[in-house]
Amino acid sequence: MSEAHIARKFPYVQEMQPGSYYWCACGHSKTQPFCDGSHKGTGFTPLKVDLSVAKKVAWCGCKQSKTGAFCDGSHSKLG
């Protein structure tokens, strides 16, 4: 698998608490936007994100963001 599956064409906007999170990079997780292990055998690995303070996060849902786990608007360019 060379390209990630598009989980959805808009971000997952969530209020997050401080901690470590594993963002799904393959797009197949059933617990989007976080990893559930569905990447096994795909060549993808989740991206660890450490948040030091509580804040609202726009997690990338299309898996095409140039800023890793965070939405950069790439979903607006998808067909």
Question: Structural domain boundaries of the chain?
Answer: 1-63
Whole-prediction pTM: 0.93
Residues 2-31: tens digit of each pLDDT: 789 999 999 999 999 999 999 999 999 999
Q: For residue 6, give the DSSP letter.
A: -
pLDDT of residue 79: 75
pLDDT of residue 14: 98
